[in-house]
Amino acid sequence: MILNLAVTPGEVTTSLIILVMVFVFVRALRSKGRKQLSPPGPWSFPIIGNLLQLGEHPYLTLMEMRKKYGDVFLLKLGMVPVLVVNGMEMVKQVLLKDGEHFAGRPNMYTFSFLAEGKSLSFSVNYGESWKLHKKIASKALRTLSNAEAKSSTCSCLLEEHVTEEVSELVTVFVELSSKNGGFDPRNAVTCAVANVVCALCFGKRYDHSDEEFLKIVKTNDDLLKASSAANPADFIPCLRYLPLQIINAPREFYRALNGFIALHVQDHLATYDKDHIRDITDALINVCHNKYAATKTDTLNDSEIISTVNDLFGAGFETVSTCLYWSFLYLIHYPEIQAKIQGEIDGNIGLKPPRFEDRKILPYTEAFISEVFRHASFLPFTIPHCTTADTTLNGYFIPRKTCTFINMYQVNHDETIWDNPSLFRPDRFLNENRELNKSLVEKVLIFGMGIRKCLGEDVARNEIFIFITAVLQQLKLKKCPRAKLDLTPTYGLVMRPKPYQLQAELRSSGSASA
């Protein structure tokens, strides 16, 4: 028996049409299904959302929520849906692989105060103009902060500024200790770091008792206190119109800081000399006036230069001073670690003033700094991100303009990455040859990663290294007798340790056992 398998052209056409229609219909159903698959998350109250559920330590609350909802979940802060991202792989997906899709900033009330909304770090607008802005700022920062810049015509190098300020800090520590016995190092550390930033940005340092200087230091401190928790006006818009201190205080502090910086930048614009670059502000002006002079659209105007200096000033100020404040606490809490660092310093550089290049020969000191970053995680979240387009993450549909929180604290305490993450153990960053494990150092999140990564990471790491090494080279730090030390942070925009006191004494002949 022979089967007749012949078909007419019309039947073929009809079959193809049916197959195409079925294919399109299935794709449409799948696409619709994906768009309806939103991230899981907790039930929220009307208007206030999940704000009351976050508690005193939101980063820990979100870690607990992760156990139930996974690495990607959605909650509501006030009336704003917020995507929370945990886990190294998901963080890499957001900040690196899909970086362009998550490169925006949410349109927050607080952000609008920063340099009148033109801040590079907080700018809502992400695009070619922002990329150019970042490129110019990066070039200006490298001009005066790299050790290689010694051969240039620039006279204000980060290394020189830090060396000068740490010498002053050692003197202050000894004086305070001899006068008071124990003392809280916070004010002295803040003034020293602020002077480094002022010298780097404006070519000027201040005496620690200078009224103008102390005013701006206090303004920064007040600003952080006012921003210590999520500003309700960022998430409940109707509150912006109420005369409440918590709502309006940040605006006044930002204006004071912006005014201080604007005066210095305006003075630089008036006295700029292309043959004598004094500091980062001059370097910014130089880059704009020279390289991009021929194309006015490819440069920064004066107000954008002011906002860039504002960004660099703020980033270099609080991050470094907070890290040092934590570092000195860990050093008196773990005296055996302090002794190991001093032994490494004595054996490798002796009494020679430390330099940036010495980071290569002091691996344990570097490991200690990385462990401070990881364990304290004093920047628990990145600055909030925002999606620039509809996208997907971990199989969930994420609409455009979704506010996104990256939980860096969780990554820094993830048991799948770190062995006993609650322990403070610098040795975890050293391999069997006692060399720094750079691949593990890169897993520590404190400066972010990808497109919006902090511009000043190298500057901060170099500065912190010099401060810690130079202080421990000359001083032995001790906790006050019978004092109890608390490593629990105080939650805020930047998490500081609770106030503590220490004692400082000169080391005799560079001996770690002194």
User: Binding site: which residues?
Assistant: 454
- Residues 277 and 145: their CA atoms lie apart, in Å, by 13
Task: Tell me the Ramachandran region of residue 144: left when phi exceeds 0, alpha when psi lies from -120 to 50, beta otherwise.
Answer: alpha
Q: Are 79 and 239 in contact (CB under 8 A)?
A: no
Task: Report the interhelical angle of 128-145 vs 302-333 (nearest 10°).
Answer: 60
- CB neighbours of 344 closer than 8 A, spacing ≥ 6? 362, 363, 364, 365
- Residues 358 and 365: their CA atoms lie apart, in Å, by 10
Is the Cα dihedral 62, 67, 70, 75 positive or negative?
negative
Q: Which helix (H) or strand (E) holds 385?
A: strand 385-386
For 272-290, give the DSSP string: --TT---SHHHHHHHHHHH
Binding residues for heme: 454
Q: Are 380 and 86 in contact (CB under 8 A)?
A: no
Task: Tell me the Ramachandran region of residue 91: left when phi exceeds 0, alpha when psi lies from -120 to 50, beta otherwise.
Answer: alpha
Within 10 angstroms of residue 275's Cβ, the number of other Cβ atoms is 6
| 127: exposed, middle or buried (Cβ count in 10 Å: 0-12, 13-18, 19+) | exposed
* Secondary structure of 457-504 in HEC code, one letter for each residue: HHHHHHHHHHHHHHHHHHEEEEECCCCCCCCCEECCCCCEECCCCEEE
| Residue among 257, 260, 289, 297 at smallest CA distance from 273 | 289
**Strand pairing category for 475-479 and 502-506:** antiparallel
Q: Are 278 and 270 in contact (CB under 8 A)?
A: no
- Residues 319 and 387: their CA atoms lie apart, in Å, by 26
Residue with tokens 């907070």: 322
| Residue among 264, 311, 272 at smallest CA distance from 288 | 272
